[in-house]
Structure 1
Amino acid sequence: MSGLKGAQGSSIGPGHALYVTEPSDGRIVRIDPDTGAVTTFASGLPAAIPEIGVGGVMDVEFIGHTAYALVTLVGPDVGGHNAVGIYRIDSPTTSTLIADIGAFSLAHPPIPAFFVPTGVQYALQRYEGGFLVTDGHHNRVLRVTLDGRVSELIAFDDIVPTGLAVAGRTVYVAEAGPIPHLPQNGKVVAFRPGSQTAINVAAGARLLVDVEFGRGRTLFALAQGFWAGKDGDEGTPAQPNTGSLVRAERDGTFTVVAGPLDRPTSMEIIGNTAYVVTLGGEVWTVDHIAGPPHGDHSSDD
């Protein structure tokens, strides 16, 4: 399907439907994965600030039948008037801030500090009754409880963490890598809570933005593609039609499953089909992705 406005994050929710965020409109839509039919699931969330071009509703996740939205780059530090954090969807038009991640970031800045004090949160992942959140600007993964407590789970060097996946207690993180997002810096790493370091799972894809498990615990990642910007262009997307869906192999490399893709932002896997969301407001399917189970990285979970 097509016609969304700057689609960003995604999740599988009630009815096994695909839920996708539209940051520019402060909206989450529900997409029927069989027909592509689109309906508005939630609206009225803080929208992206037009002058910035990124931010707003970045991701959506469900606990049971309740949806939660991750909102970033809408605070006073960037000229906005809203709170940065996780919002619970209470009705199709109302929501409640349950965790003020912006306030946590202001009170607990990374070392060294970065130029957006409230951070740039990218992905939201359900985890042990609460959530994990990546901050691609502050280079860390946060843990957030349903009663609003925020803590730092792990901090990284300048690697730009993006997408998240979980197997047992092991957390998998996609890394876009620092500017200029070279392919050797596009990695998937894994860690367990309490660890101060992460281990490399696979590397070699440009500007990774998501990671998901498919059948047989095969691990897939989403590469946005070739980035042709320069210093000072942080947050700008890759070049059109240079992205790809890749599979992690046991030898630590990636194999391209499908491409070229046009500036993908997130993906979900239902059965043996990947649903890829793009910045241009489209959702593409890639069928028969699994093949032999090359990527079982969770045998210790």
Structure 2
Amino acid sequence: MRTIKKPFFLKPLCYHLKGLSMLVGIVIFSMLFNCTNEGVEDLVVVESSSSKVMQMKSTTPGAPQHLTSLPGMAMGSAIGLDGDLFVAQSGASGSILRIDKKNGEVSTFVSGLPGSVVPIGGVIDVAFLDDKAYALVTLVGSFFGDDYINGIYRIDGPDSYTVIADIGQFALDNPPTGFDYFLPTGLQYAIQAYRGGFLVTDGHHNRVYHVTLDGEVTEFKVFDNIVPTGLEVSGNTVFVTQAGTAEQFHQNSKIVSIDSKSMAVSNLATGAPLIVDIEFNRGRSLFAISQGEWAGEAEGDAALPNTGTLVKVNDDGTLTVVADGLDRPTSLEFINNTAYIISLTGEIWTVANVAGPPYGM
């Protein structure tokens, strides 16, 4: 793709920019009575016509179950209105889909957002703040032959929006230094609500931005050539996944934490290739997704199909595999104790009972 070393711009979700060829029955379960005690397994109440019987209930995560397949490619996601799952459709679609948490039905939440000639461009992620939805749009603009804005769009209706922040222009006015890059407006990847505004990662310019609702864009954290991707926030701590460059991600990518007061960065965990998203589940247990093993041919190549994993972040900095065999996952969410995993090809998979005792069901 290039002979100079550059950020592995965007997980291996795509092939070269020149020639971008591309790169559950839902598990909804009732929350039954759960009791734990020292030396006692989880128990659930099972009612029959004549009695209530206490039975042992497994705390082992279930196997991945296919929920539904979306049309086209999918990237970021969020839990939004009424606790449903919302998924950004990348490429030319310009839409965000809503998946009903009760029955798995898919509907179009908004359409008419900017699409991109790049399969992983256009609407790449979605976030909610004060019951309003916001779309992150990237890989558009003059470099790609259109006049769209790379930035954050507030969703005003099913086919209307307002641009609230032009991140691409900020990138043009404040170019990165210390490494080679070729996309002048960057490649914004993930958006996360943060203190009345948003944090946004740029996997090509290796930065995390802070963006206000008034459109002010500032650098929250600047990295070396490590390709920041997924985001999560807890109190004063910001968690960032670092996919790494082509020379790095096929080995071990990283999860780091940023203290928003001191801005100190700490290595939190490593041990999986191309970690691209991170989310808290119940009990403040932290999970991440690895997109999979590198095909090993050229920078920008996709991960090998069906090599992705869902992993749990351990206190000692290691990762435990919860589910494997996933096909290039791009985003992770939790509803109750079930993981919802979105894949590059638009499939949604669930893994039930992810968190163990005392938080598992």
- Report the TM-score when normalising by structure 1: 0.92
Please name the residue that 1:96 is paired with: 162
Specify the alignment match of 1:280 in structure 2.
345
Determine which of 229, 233, 247 is the counterpart of 1:162: 229
CA 1:77 to 1:189, structure 2 compared with 1: closer, same or farther past 3 Å? Answer: same
Q: Which residue pairs with 2:125 in the alignment?
A: 59
Aligned equivalent of 2:85: 18
CA distance, structure 2, for counterparts of residue 151 and residue 91 of structure 1: 28
The list of structure 1 runs, each at least 4 consecutive aligned residues, that deviate by more than 6 angstroms after superposition, is none
Query: Hey, what does 1:298 align to over in structure 2?
Result: none
- Take 2:358 and 2:247, find their aligned partners in 1: how far apart are those partners? 32
Distance (Å, rounded) in 2 between the aligned partners of 1:217 and 1:230: 38
CA contact (8 A) 2:134 2:153 kept: yes
Q: Quick one: which of 287, 291, 299 aligns to 2:356? A: 291
Q: 2:284 aligns with which of 189, 202, 217?
A: 217
- Alpha-carbon contact 1:61-1:67 (below 8 Å) kept: yes
Distance 2:223 2:353 in 1: 35
Deviation at 1:277, TM superposition (A): 0.4
Give the aligned partner of residue 140 of structure 2. 74
Query: Are residues 183 and 251 of structure 1, via their aligned partners in 2, closer, same or farther at CA, if it must alter by over 3 Å?
Result: farther
Identify unmatched segments of 5+ residues in structure 2. Answer: 1-67
Taking structure 1 as reference, are residues 99 and 288 closer, same or farther at Cα in structure 2, changes over 3 Å only? same
Q: SS of the counterpart of 1:209? A: strand
Decide which of 44, 68, 74 is 2:112's aligned counterpart.
44
Distance of 2:309 and 2:248 partners within structure 1: 15
Cα displacement (A) at 1:227: 1.3
SS of structure 1 residue aligned to 2:171: helix
Does 1:250 find its partner at 2:315? Answer: yes
- Report the alpha carbon displacement of residue 77 of structure 1 after superposing the two structures with TM: 2.1
Shift of 1:68: 0.3
Asked whether the 8 Å contact 2:229–2:277 carries over to 1, the reply is yes
Amino acid at match of 2:320: T
Q: Answer yes or no: is 1:187 the counterpart of 2:254.
A: yes
Report the secondary structure of 2:294's partner residue. coil
Q: Could you tell me which residue of structure 1 aligns to residue 199 of structure 2?
A: 132
Deviating more after overlay: 107-116 vs 64-73:
107-116
Amino acid at match of 1:47: G
Q: Secondary structure at the match of 1:8?
A: strand
Q: CA deviation at 1:165?
A: 0.3
Give percent identity, aligned residues only.
55
For the Cα contact (< 8 Å) 1:22–1:28, is it kept in 2?
yes
Per the alignment, residue 85 of structure 1 pairs with 151
Bigger Rg, which one? 2
Pick 1 or 2: higher relative contact order, CA cutoff 8 A, min separation 6. 2
Deviations 1:220-241 (A, max 9, x none): 010000111444x43x431110
Distance 2:348 2:286 in 1: 20
2:99 counterpart of 1:31? yes
> 1:176 is matched with which residue?
243
Number of residues of Structure 1 aligned to a counterpart in Structure 2: 290
Mapped pair 1:260 → 2:325: yes
* Inter-CA distance 182–103: structure 2 relative to 1 (3 Å threshold): closer
Q: CA deviation at 1:36?
A: 1.2
Q: Which runs of 5+ in 1 are unaligned?
A: 295-301
Distance, in Å, in 2 between the alignment partners of 1:292 and 1:138 is 41
Q: Which digits, 9 at most, give the CA deviation of each residue in 1:137-178, with x for residues without a partner?
A: 011100000000000011111111100000002100011111
Indicate if the aligned counterparts of 2:236 and 2:261 stay in contact, CA closer than 8 A.
no
